[in-house]
């Protein structure tokens, strides 16, 4: 016989079972109605955009404005589209020269240092003796890309540096055009060529100022001077690198704030475009590291935009200057000369008598800058290894007024200098 306590437990348990049944009925009715509503409206095409959007995002999909499912493009497809769009505007630059009629002529002055090799010369088939006279031979090649439909082509200055050579531009469809060197940038490794052609495909320029490390990039160029429009893919490995590129003849050039990439850049790629995944030019391939794998460099396209606009509007590259010769100040220069700064540009004359420290009549001369002054800052930016004086000046336009902080005869001074055109 149940006692009173057991009776209360059984009574409570029965109430719990009744509550569970009621709650289950309510929930089943609610969800049944909800899914019935959704199914009915889905059949009529009325299912809400928000739900479809959530559903597709959960399945790594997207929807367009009509609510239709569309897949995100995969990287492989995007690269293929970018290459198809860009390749018609990428050109090969063929370098030819009158050379002695001998089979063992080696034309590549950069063959000892592949770091900054603008081209790969063609190697002789068989050694032979001088046959007398000269003949025009193809001695190497570089790359470039079309920047205007009427025949302007951008490339590296070092690709077209031989004034005794002739240059031919070969477009992607195999057509050849004689090319003239129209303009050369005195401070950057940039040159603009001109060919007589119209209605050419043009590469769109991107924004190198918004690049991110790890971003996918594509290089196209005349690899080894033989394999035209070779495509390689990689990522941006570094930004704003400062490197010294040598040509194998004892000459060197400072490359400032360049893009580092692991996309394969070989001799002959110089002057070709580095593209983002949308097919826009974000850099110009310029050099590769010696003794390393997958370390290449490209000039940021934003550094070239002024040159390109200048050539299009004025037919030449116009560069601002202040008119001083200088020595970059570092810790060693500071200690050897007992200077108060380990940065800046020390205004100094060159080795020749005519190499004056300050060009007479120049903006620097008009502002009162003299030999042994140190230019410390330009518009608040310190002049140092990462920000060379010439690079800082090149960012401005002719006619701009800049503020210089200088060290003059033992004290700091601030000067206003109006930039003029480099003659």
Note the pLDDT of residue 4: 57
On whether both 174 and 266 belong to a single domain, the answer is: yes
Q: Which residues of 93-103 are buried (b: 16+ CB within 10 A; e: fewer)?
A: bbbebeeeeee
Share of the chain above pLDDT 70, in %: 72
Q: How many CB atoms lie within 10 A of CB 236?
A: 23
Partners of 140 in beta bridges: 95
**Are 155 and 246 contained in the same domain?**
yes
Q: Does residue 50 surpass a pLDDT of 70? A: no
Are residues 84 and 203 both part of a single domain? yes
Contact 373, 397 (CB under 8 A): no
| Mean pLDDT score, 199-224 | 91
Mean pLDDT of 198-207: 94
Q: How many domains does the chain have?
A: 3
C-alpha torsion 53→59→64→70, nearest 10: -160
**153 and 301 both lie in a single domain:** yes
Give 232-274 pLDDT, tens digit per residue: 999 999 998 877 765 544 455 677 789 999 988 888 888 999 9
Q: What is the mean predicted confidence (pLDDT) over 109-114?
A: 38
The reported pLDDT for the residue numbered 41 is 47
In this structure, are 273 and 252 located in the same domain?
yes
Tell me: pLDDT of 331 over 60: yes
Question: 190 and 261: one domain?
Answer: yes
Indicate if 244 and 213 belong to the same structural domain: yes
The confidence score (pLDDT) of residue 131 equals 58
261: β partners? 236, 296
Type and span of the H or E element at 309:
helix 301-314
**Is the same domain home to 269 and 149?**
yes
Residue 387 has a pLDDT of: 84
| Residues 186, 158 share a domain | yes
Token pair, residue 212, equals 């991110």
Q: What is the pLDDT of residue 113?
A: 37
pLDDT classification of 122: cutoffs 50, 70, 90: very low
Q: How far apart are CA 402 and CA 305, in angstroms?
A: 21
Which domain range does residue 273 map to?
74-315
Residues with Cβ within 8 Å of 167's Cβ and at least 6 positions away in sequence, in order, are 93, 94, 95, 96, 160, 178, 179, 180, 181, 193
Distances (CA, A) of 18 to 4, 6, 15, 216: 22, 19, 5, 63
Helices (H), 315-403: 331-337, 363-367, 389-394
CA nearest to 203, candidates 307, 308, 114: 308
**Domain boundary, last residue among 259, 291, 315:** 315
Which residues are catalytically annotated? 158, 189, 270
CB neighbour burial string for 335-373, b if at least 16 within 10 angstroms, e if fewer: eeeebebebbbbbbeeeeeeebbbeeebbbbbbebeeeb
The residue among 226 and 150 whose pLDDT is bigger is: 150
According to the model, what pLDDT value does residue 362 have? Answer: 93
Q: Which residues pair with 418 in a beta bridge?
A: 401
| Range ranked top by mean pLDDT from 137-151, 313-327, 362-376 | 362-376
End-of-domain residue from the set 70, 105, 127: 70
What would you report as the CA-atom Rg of the chain, rounded to the nearest whole angstrom?
A: 33
Tell whether 286 and 206 lie within a shared domain: yes
CATH, residue 252: 2.40.10.120
Q: What is the pLDDT of residue 7?
A: 56
Domain containing residue 376: CATH number? 2.30.42.10
pLDDT digits (tens, 9 = 90+) for 382-391: 998 878 888 8
Q: What is the pLDDT, as a whole number, of residue 29?
A: 63
Rounded CA-CA distance 145/68 in Å is 39
pTM over 0.95: no
What is residue 71's predicted lDDT score, i.e. its pLDDT?
Answer: 47
């Amino acid at each position: 016989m149940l006692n009173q306590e057991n009776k209360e437990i059984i009574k409570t348990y029965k109430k719990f079972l009744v509550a569970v049944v009621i709650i289950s009925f309510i929930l089943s009715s609610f969800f049944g109605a909800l899914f019935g509503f959704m199914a009915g409206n889905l059949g009529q095409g009325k299912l809400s955009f928000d739900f479809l959007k959530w559903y597709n995002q959960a399945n790594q999909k997207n929807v367009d404005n009509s609510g239709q499912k569309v897949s995100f493009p995969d990287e492989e497809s995007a690269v293929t589209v970018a290459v198809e769009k860009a390749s018609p505007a990428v050109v090969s630059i063929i370098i030819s020269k009158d050379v002695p009629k001998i089979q063992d002529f080696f034309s590549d002055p950069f063959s000892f240092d592949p770091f900054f090799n603008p081209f790969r010369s063609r190697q002789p088939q068989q050694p032979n003796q001088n046959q007398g006279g000269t003949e025009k031979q193809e001695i190497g090649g570089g790359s470039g890309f079309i920047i205007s439909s009427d025949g302007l082509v951008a490339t590296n200055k070092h690709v077209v540096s031989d004034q005794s050579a002739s240059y031919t531009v070969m477009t992607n469809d195999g057509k050849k055009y004689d090319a003239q060197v129209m303009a050369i940038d005195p401070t950057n490794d940039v040159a603009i060529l001109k060919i007589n052609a119209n209605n050419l495909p043009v590469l769109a320029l991107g924004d190198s100022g918004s690049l991110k490390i790890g971003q996918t990039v594509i290089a196209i160029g005349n690899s080894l001077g033989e394999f035209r429009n070779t495509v390689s893919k990689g990522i941006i490995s570094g930004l704003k690198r400062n490197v010294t590129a040598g040509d194998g003849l004892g000459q060197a050039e400072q490359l400032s704030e360049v893009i580092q990439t692991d996309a394969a850049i070989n001799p002959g790629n110089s002057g070709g475009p580095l593209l983002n995944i949308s097919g826009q030019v974000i850099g110009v391939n310029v050099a590769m590291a010696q003794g390393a794998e997958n370390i290449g460099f490209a000039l940021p396209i934003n550094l070239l935009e002024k040159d390109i606009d200048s050539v299009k509007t004025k037919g030449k590259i116009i560069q601002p200057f202040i008119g001083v010769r200088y020595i970059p100040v570092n810790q060693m220069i500071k200690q050897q000369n007992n200077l108060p700064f380990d940065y800046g540009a020390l205004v100094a004359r060159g080795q020749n008598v005519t190499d004056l420290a300050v060009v007479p009549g120049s903006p620097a001369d008009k502002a009162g800058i003299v030999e042994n002054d140190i230019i410390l800052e330009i518009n608040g930016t310190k002049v140092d290894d990462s920000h060379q004086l010439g690079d800082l000046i090149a960012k401005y336009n002719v006619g701009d007024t800049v503020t210089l902080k200088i060290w003059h005869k033992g004290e700091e001074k601030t000067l206003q200098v109006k930039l003029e055109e480099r003659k």
